[in-house]
A and B are shown apart, each in its own frame.
Chain A
Amino acid sequence: MKHKKNILAASVFTAVLILAVVIGYKNLSYNWQWYRVAPYFFSFENGRFVAGVLLQGVWITFKISAISLVLALVTGMVSAFARLSPYVSLRVLAWCYVETIRNTPLLIQIFVIYFVISPVLDLSAFTSAVIALSLFEGAYSSEIIRSGIINIPKGQFEAAQSIGLPVFATYYKVVVPQMLRQTLPMLAGQSVSLIKDSALVSTISIYDLTMQGQKIVSETFLTFEIWFAVALCYLSITATLSFIIRRIETRMRFVN
């Protein structure tokens, strides 16, 4: 009985929500021109497939996110171990890194790296963006990984020591696999955040998905259509990633 009421409430809620969106869509004094959006994804020139600017943007976003994701995990791993190391200097260094990055806006970090640091080291915009994103998401991953390691029972370390495993093997075979199993859902959330945060690199003139969207909007003023399309692209990238990580999670559950 209760269950039925819940379903009823949920369906009423959904129906009203859809109604509200439809009425809002119709009443907005805006001339919708969805038919103009398709060519920005792809077109056919003499029968050959040509990727539109939005697809090119998807590719750049994918590239930046993929490279940054790997580097962020490495940074996070190193910083987490540094925070748990017996050396005070390493601990302080890692703590400073994590707190500085976590308590300042990413946009400002991107600007500082691109306009202040990169002229000195002569880095390209793309490199600056990757560095900024990796450092930013690395700081968050560091805390996630650290919590995963702390939560491994002490007995595991003692057991590894008692059978004479070297330090590296202890981490590689015992600690990291268990840490990953615990922290994978959180790391998945972090990687989705990374993909969404990568939109900010458009501010330093990298032609990612957001930048291409802005460019089309400034030329054609198809404001709402293009932004909806761009949002859909991000959604498809993040949904794919979430799906892959979900698969890895179920796999790991059965590994002993």
Chain B
Amino acid sequence: MFDMKKVLMAVGLILLMPLALCLAGETGDRLSKESVIEKIQKDKVIRVGMSTFVPWAMKDKQGKLVGFEIDVARQLAKDMGVDVEFVPTAWSGIIPALMTGKFDVIIGGMGITAQRNLKVNFTTPYDYSGMSMVAHRKKAQGFSSLADFNKKDVNVAVRMGTTAEQAARKFLPKASLRLFENESQALQELNLGRVHAVVSSAPMPVFHALKYPDKLFVPLEENFTKEPIGFAIRKGDPDAVNFFNNWIINQHASGFLKEKKAFWFESRDWEDLVK
């Protein structure tokens, strides 16, 4: 049974598809032509891409987002006179999500690296973070330097796509890496004693070792890297870089960033919020 009417209708619909795609395709040009700062003001909302990282961003007991990044993004929205909308995204896909316009900016403790900078633009640093390590007492007994972990039979768990993964590759090239999508899975692996250590940005490893003092310990006294943390935005948007840079410089000067950092990274006053 061949129904000409139906076929014609189908063909008509399909012919409209490229048109729709053309219109969709224009977003690409539009994104580069007009600044995201304009868009934020028009929409009266700034959409922030982030991912859960203790204590940068986490859920409190009521399920509300709290953390260092969250405070920074809320203050930024307040200063711009707009609302803030957080878009939780899997860390490994956060840069492609920014590039395809799923949100306006990444404020998520993202370390500024050359490889990332080829795909997105970064603001001036609003924070510095460093890599630290938490290890299993039994498995990594007596380990106290990077060299101890840099051995063939050592397993290290890290979160995929993070600077922790890159640092582990760079400083522990001989160790075998176990990559997980979430921090919690990597830590679970450590608690079960299936890996010797987890590498992650400070202060998480120290906090985790304090939680399980009889099972875990912190093998290195100092962080073994220092990395600048910036907002990430799409390329080709000088207005946004300028606006965010100056906002960050202002917040450094006013002491806001310092105060927030002290609260989230040096004190443990916020533990009651999330437990």
Contact = CB atoms under 8 A, between A and B. Distances in A.
Contact of A214 (B2, B14, B160): B160
A24 interface: yes
Interface in A1-32: 2, 5-6, 9, 12-13, 16-17, 19-20, 23-24, 26-30
Contacts of A104: none
B24 interface: yes
B261 interface: no
B212 to A, nearest CB: 15
B14 A218 contact: no
B92 A29 contact: no
Given A13-B14, A20-B18, A26-B25, A5 B4 contact: yes
B223 interface: no
State the main secondary structure of chain B at its contact with A.
Answer: helix
Contacts of B115: 219-221
Contact of B24 (A19, A27, A125): A27
A119 B119 CA distance: 40
A56 to B, nearest CB: 14
A29 B160 contact: no
A29 B18 contact: no
Nearest to A19: B18
A174 interface: no
Contacts of A205: 157, 178-180, 189
Contacts of A219: 115, 166
A27 to B, nearest CB: 2
A117 to B, nearest CB: 12
A60 interface: no
B92 A217 contact: yes
A84 B157 CA distance: 46
Contacts of B95: 221, 223
State the main secondary structure of chain A at its contact with B.
Answer: helix
Contacts of B10: 9, 13
Interface stretch (B26-34, B37-45, B62-70, B244-252): B26-34
B147 interface: no
B114 to A, nearest CB: 12
Nearest to B195: A205
Contacts of A6: 2
Contacts of A12: 11, 14
Interface residues of B, number: 43
Contacts of B18: 16, 19-20, 23
B32 A29 contact: yes
Interface string B91-123: 011011001100000000000000110110000
A205 B37 CA distance: 40
B165 interface: yes
B25 A218 contact: no
A7 to B, nearest CB: 11
B230 to A, nearest CB: 16
Contacts of B180: 203, 205
B253 interface: no
A214 B17 contact: no
Contacts of A211: 179
A189 B153 CA distance: 40
Contacts of B15: 16
Nearest to B8: A9
B188 A115 contact: yes
B233 to A, nearest CB: 14
Contact of B192 (A20, A119, A218): A119
A215 interface: yes
B93 to A, nearest CB: 8
Contact of B28 (A27, A115, A223): A27
A221 B96 contact: yes
Contact of A5 (B2, B118, B165): B2
A241 to B, nearest CB: 28
Contacts of A27: 21-22, 24-26, 28
A17 B14 contact: yes
Contacts of A125: 178
Nearest to B192: A119
A218 B192 CA distance: 26
B148 interface: no
A23 B21 contact: yes
Contacts of B228: none
B51 to A, nearest CB: 13
B125 interface: no
Nearest to B169: A219
Given A205-B189, A223-B95, 7 more contacts: A9-B7, A12-B14, A16-B14, A29-B31, A29-B100, A205-B178, A219-B115
9 contacts: A6-B2, A16-B18, A27-B25, A27-B26, A119-B192, A125-B178, A217-B161, A218-B92, A221-B116
6 closest Cβ pairs, A-B complex: A27-B25, A29-B28, A218-B161, A205-B178, A223-B96, A221-B119
